[in-house]
Structures are given as C-alpha cells and as structure tokens.
Structure 1
Amino acid sequence: MRTSSMSLLLAALGATLAAGEPLPEGWVQAKAAVIKPDGCNCLKDVLGGGGGVGAWITPRWGAELDVLQLRLKSKHTTAASDETHVLASGLFNLAPAAAPWIPYARAGAGLATIQAPYSLADHGTTRAAFHAGVGVQRPFGQRGLFSAEVRAVTIENEIRRTEYQGLVGLGLRWGRKASAVAAPAPVVAPAPAPAPAPVAEPPAPSPVVAPAPAPAPAPVAEPPAPAPVAAPAPAPELPRRLVLDEAVLHFQNDRAELDAAAEAAIRKVAETLKGFGGQYDLRVVGYTSSTGNAAHNRALSLRRARAVAKVLESAGIPAARLKAEGAGPDAPIADNGTAEGRARNRRVEIEVKADGVETRRAETGLRD
C-alpha cells in the first residue's frame, strides 16, 4: 500500500506540472506527525511521516493530496499494525492580507488502510476517512516552504475511531514568475552651480595735482568701493511626485517583499528627499494592473506601499511624515490591454506634499 500511495502522489505531481502554465503557487513537501488516537485508551501516541503535493489555485482556494504512514501500538501488549492514510483536501486561505504568512483551513476525505490486528479482521482492510483542520504556511527564500497544522481524522471502521494529528512540513515551491531586472533609481537633477562672484574693479588712479606757486595739499583718494556680495545659490527644487515602477521594485508575483536591489533604489530616493529643507509629507500609494480580483489587488497594493514606506522610514524619513495607501487598479497611467501598459500600471508613487511647489512627475524606464 505504501508503494501504491507514493505512486499516486507522484502521478498527481506530474499531472500538475504537465498542465501547461505554472500555477500561481504549487508545492511538494515532506511531513512529520505526532498522532494521538481517540476513542480507545488501549493505543499509544505514535509518530508518523509522509508527504504531500498541492497548489493555491486562486488567492483564496487551493488543494492538496497527501500520504501519511504510521504504526498503531498497544499500551498493554506487543500488538502493532501499520496504517496508511491517502487524503485529498480542499484549502481555504483565511487571511490573504497576512502575506507572507498563509493561515488556512482544510477539509476533505480519503482512504485509510489498516493492517491486522487493528483492522478487526485477520487481514488488512481499507476504510473511508474524513478529516478537517487548520494550519499555516510560510514561504522562505526563493523556493522554500514551511508548514504547521493540526487536524482530526475520523476512520469509518466497525468501531468509528478519531485520530488527532499535529504535523510540520518542509518542502519546495514552484510557479513563480521571474523578477524583473532592477532599474536604476530615479535621478533628481542636481542643483545649478552658483554664479561666480563679480570681480571688483580696481580703484581709479589718484589725480595728478598741477604745480602751483604755493603748493597745495594733494587731494586724498577715495577708498575703493567694496566688492558686491555674491547671491546665494538657489535651493534645489523639491519633486512633487516620484514613481517607482515594476522595473525598480520587481515584486514577485502576488507578493510584497522587496529584495536587496529594490531596497537600495528606495534608499537612494530617501537620501534625495532628506537633502531638501522645509516641511513636507510623503503619501506612498501602491497601484496594480487590472488583472485579477479588484479587492485582492487593493490589499496587495497596500502591502507593497507599506513595504516601500518601511524602507523609507529605516533610511531616515520620519514615520510621522509617511502615509501608505493602496489604490489597486484605480487611476491607471497606461492601457491595461497590453503587457507594456500593465507593467506601467504596477507601480508605487511617492507624492510629496509641500507649500509653494509645482506638481511634477518623475518616472523610470519600464521592462517586463
């Protein structure tokens, strides 16, 4: 039964990968479990192990097929039986906005194969099994995945029995789009160089006094006029709005984490903003393309705006000057009907609010 169960698991994985386009989030993982049998005080708590393959079909809904192998042991005798579970589950994401954490609930059905003597027969038997539980996933690195959950499995034998299971898993993910190549941070024009101070003209020569019968005192020459003071250089202009597009931030699909290159670009923007005097406030607004669910896109755009604001704050911009908002697919700046237009619409804008400053828009180049 163990061989056939693993063959079924590998076949499901092959079907998933052969389906064409990669799923938004797929995974395969190994699992370890602690099992507490209920309904019979004659069985010990035991350890088990297995694996699973699954995918998030949408941001809310997913599915998983997993196999778990354990060995039932008596508390009072040496009796023991192998037991194998093959379970299919539907998954529901309880809080999409909590990314990168993915809290979920699961429910489903499958088969439990129990060997003698705990099959209550002189041979092994296969019974229906139903289960429900809750857990959490946490992606890490480029392809890693950690999971932890608790669930109850009810086995429909001659005597109905429930097992309570605590599981942890470690595995690999697939189905992500490659990140866009980081583009340089927007460049703010340098302040114009101050005009050179005018050179003072030399004083006029003293007039020559004509000789007179009685020498008169020579007139005293007036002192030269002081050199004019050079006007101070004009203060640099404060940009009204900076646009950080997908080429700068290169968020992974449906994620709000920034890599080192994106953080470096945002810190350059922060250094530019800290060079301006006076009072100003920053409104950080995230936008998405029109692809996908609008409510999900608004939550995603808010998480991305908060990620940019957090880097600005860590780079020295006071938190009191920062406000993060998510506009989702609202206010597109390009046609969502083309790949280039959707890439331009996936952006984070930093709006600078200050009196006496004209509204301008600085935008970097785009690459899908």
Structure 2
Amino acid sequence: MHTGLRITAFAAALAATFGTAYGVGTGMDPIVADGAAPAPHDGHGEPDGPREPTPRPAESGGHGGHESTPPGGLQISEGGYTLDLATSRVTAGRRTELRFTVRDASGAAVTAYRREHDKELHLVLASRDLVTYRHLHPTRAADGTWSTPVDLPAAGGYRVFADFTPAGEDAENLTLGADLAASGRYQPARLPAPNGTARADGYEVELDGSLRTGKASELKLKVSRDGEPVGDLQPYLGAYGHLVALRSGDLAYLHVHPNSEPGDGTTRPGPEISFTATAPSDGTYRLFLDFRHQGEVRTAAFTVRAGSATGAAPGATPGADPSATPEHTDGHGH
C-alpha cells in the first residue's frame, strides 16, 4: 500500500448519506447458530439490527454525498479474486478458529502474496454497529488456507475484510469483504457520538482535522499518557500508527496510512501521527487507530462525520463521549 489513503476500486459504485448514528431499540432478539445461513447483505444494513437509509446510486463529482471513487470491502469478489470464508458463524464469548481462503478466477487457492507493511494479508473484523473492532494477522498454511483465533464479545452481525495484494508486477491491492454471524442473545448498541478525543488503556488520543468528501484532508492524531505527550512510540506494521476507517451503514472500508514512516530521517516517534484521507461520500465514519507503546498495541476509536462543505469538526457535537473505545483485544492480531 502507498502513503495516504488506499481505497480499492470496485465494479459498482455506491453512495450514501447517513445520519448521526443508529436508531436502536431496547429489545433483545436471539441469533441462533444452527439452521439457515446468515441472510445475505446488500451492504446497506444487517438482518439482525436497525438499518440506515439505503444509499443512492453514485454520481460523478465526489461531493454532496456522491461517490467519485467506490470504497472497498463491499463485495466478496473483485478483479478475479474471491474471499472464501469457511467459518461463517461463531458463538459469542467463545474462542473459535476463523478459517478462510482467497481464490483466483480458476477457483485455486492463492498461495503467493506481496508483503505490505510487514504482512502478506491484513484481516480486519468489525461488528455492524462498529462497536467491536479487531485488526488480526492470520497464519497461512502451505495450501493457501488462512486461520486465526477469534473471540467476539457480543452476538450480532460482523464484517470480515481481507486486505492484500497478490504476487505479480501488475497485481493491485484488493479489499474483499464477507459476512460473519456471532450467535447468542443480541442487543444492538448505539454508535458512539462524534468525538475528538478517545481514551484507550490509560492513553488519550486527540484528533485534529476534518474528514472531507471528495477532497483529501490531513488528520493529525496526538498520543498522550497521564497528561504528558508520548514521544517514544514504537513502529507497528512499518509505521507509528495504523488507521482504518469504516462507513456507518454499509461498512465501506477505507485503509489509511501515515504520511511518513520511521527511518525516513524526518519522522519523529510521536506524539503526533499524520494521515491524509478522502471520504468517498458524506456520512458518519468510525476511525480506529492502532499504535504501539512499551511493547503493546492499543486501539483508539473515533466517530466523525464527513461533509463536502465544512467537513464537520470531529468533536463539535455536544454530548460526545470521549471515553468510548472499541471492544478490542490483542489476541493473534497484535
């Protein structure tokens, strides 16, 4: 992947304008592991929870809620490659082996990848309500089967994203997505309010900058601990920070990378990490920042709104919850 935002191109462009957050009920609905497979998603909601407005077809221009560049993760096949998710169900609260294979146009398992940011493949797993988030690094067997243990805290619908580049000079980076269901008693969660500050395991991260629609903008994240700036961040996946953005509603996937990297002669190990990002449409997004300090990887989460005019400052909404952080564990991913 290159510096700045990498958004995988898809054959069908989607656009969406979303509200502030999910409207959720208070009832509890059962999700049962046995029986029919999870209902297919069209990328605009989930069968076991509330839906946001259905996105309109994309129009050119890249502003006013119209996508000029389709985001990634919305389809299971693209460019002749398919994400074959062997594990389509897990049980909430129970450690389970998640297994999948990437297949080429002939149906054969892909066994050769280009290493990017220290890994052949990055696996991101997020709940449909964007409260639970995992950044995992599975192990590939010789036959091309990938596997990693997962332990999801709550029942409901999840989305699995495989971010990879097949081997080959002309190969392009792809992000393929598939649905995963966690069985158990389901209680929908409300999307946290927009926030400009997030706390994670005793650390505080401040977000400076606005996410703009159809226009690149800088996002600066400043890490501190006990009120003191952290100036000795450690490299993680070849950078001092790793940022993933997911659009509320259809979970369109935006993979953002820092504007600089360790060892380039100018980049300091904190406290600030700078990214450049472009939102494909107006709407609400959830940002997940992974950073490493004192040998451990931690995740800070932000809810932001993207707009074509002013972009909306991430912490401008009264009542924002700065303590809202994702359900996240190190596990196999870190």
Give the TM-score taking structure 1 as reference length. Answer: 0.24
Structure with larger Rg: 1
Higher relative contact order (CA closer than 8 Å, sequence separation 6+)? 2
Q: Larger helix proportion, structure 1 or 2?
A: 1
